[in-house]
Amino acid sequence: MKWYKIDDVAKITGLTKRTLRYYEEIGLIKPPERSNGKFRLYTDEDIEQIRKLILAREVLGFSLQELQEFLSLKEKVERHSEEYNRLSPYELQEIDQNLKQQIRMIETKMERMRKFIEELEDLRQKIQSHQNLTEKEDV
Amino acid sequence: MKWYKIDDVAKITGLTKRTLRYYEEIGLIKPPERSNGKFRLYTDEDIEQIRKLILAREVLGFSLQELQEFLSLKEKVERHSEEYNRLSPYELQEIDQNLKQQIRMIETKMERMRKFIEELEDLRQKIQSHQNLTEKEDV
DNA sequence: AGGACGCTCACGTCGCGTGAGGGTGC
DNA sequence: GGCACCCTCACGCGACGTGAGCGTCC
């Protein structure tokens, strides 16, 4: 088993050490092992979990608390496939609605981004045309 | 000329009154007129400006200071088309590079979102298959 | 003239950044 | 035993939320 110290994890994930400790403090990531109760020691699995967390955070733009709820929901579903803790049809229904809403939200954001990119491209066009008046070569 | 009070603007734009005042305080939106130096009175143009601000904020996810710089850049280019304040070819070059980078950044975000949506759809699939085991009708 | 809405402090919160002061490990 | 890294307070900051206490409008 390979162990990573906090600075390694910071470099790998791009989070700061402070952020890693903070996320642990508020229960967003599980407390890793410790060396003699002192230094934090992370495993590859820990790092993978953190990676997923980062992706969700970036995409969803939730508060960390909402993010927490969302992740626990996801885990619930994934664990549901295994023998135990089956969910009721009603719960499944609800979760499905929730997921659909998330998807719609993200699609809305993407639509806004597309429009924004168009605007930026328009701006670039304007600039290009003005450059052609003063220069002869494009780069 | 139609005048809107702050609560109207809040309802129209979706920002809170506090946020509107705060954005004014840090110079992100221009101070609107006042009734006898007391109540803030916004015009349709003010509201339009605020709308654009919100769009940029949501899409870019910058700090408010960076956002401010970005917006002034945009305005610079848009005003450049008019008779005065021409920009040097070098400045134009730089701005163009800047815009290209923004576009790339947004495209990266969109790519992440696409992947995330796929994951969510996978989750939904799992749920669907489990529902088919216990129910007969889909909604 | 009363109630809905506006104003300005000013303190609280979240998500970290940034030392200070001290311990750990090879 | 150095030196690089770790730890835990604890205070600061940006971007607002949330009253308190008071004025304004129709």
A57 touches strand D (CB under 7 A): no
B37 pLDDT more than 90: no
Residue A135 is predicted with a pLDDT of 56
Whether the CB of B75 is below 8 Å from some CB of chain A: the reply is no
Whether the CB of B83 is below 8 Å from some CB of chain A: the reply is no
pLDDT in tens, A95-129: 999 999 999 999 999 999 999 999 999 999 988 88
Residue B27 is predicted with a pLDDT of 94
Q: The pTM is what?
A: 0.86
Smallest Cβ–Cβ distance between A134 and the set B81, B89, B116 belongs to B89
Q: Are B57 and B15 in contact (CB under 8 A)?
A: no
Element (H, E) at A91: helix A89-134
CA A50 to chain B, closest CA, distance in angstroms equals 15
With a pLDDT cut of 70, the percent of chain A lying above it is: 91
Burial class (CB within 10 angstroms; exposed 0-12, middle 13-18, buried 19+) of A17: middle
B138 pLDDT more than 90: no
pLDDT in tens, B76-119: 888 877 766 677 888 888 899 999 999 999 999 999 999 999 99
pLDDT in tens, A10-57: 999 999 999 999 999 999 999 999 998 799 999 999 999 999 999 999
Residue A133 is predicted with a pLDDT of 65
Residues of chain B contacting A124 with CB distance shorter than 8 Å: 96, 99-100
Tokens of B110: 């969109």
Tell me the count of A-B CB pairs closer than 8 A.
104
- Taking residues B1-12, what's their average pLDDT? 95
CA torsion through residues A85, A88, A92, A97, sign: negative
Q: What are the angstrom distances between the C-alpha of A136 and each of A139, B89, B96?
A: 10, 11, 17
Longest dimension (CA), chain A: 72
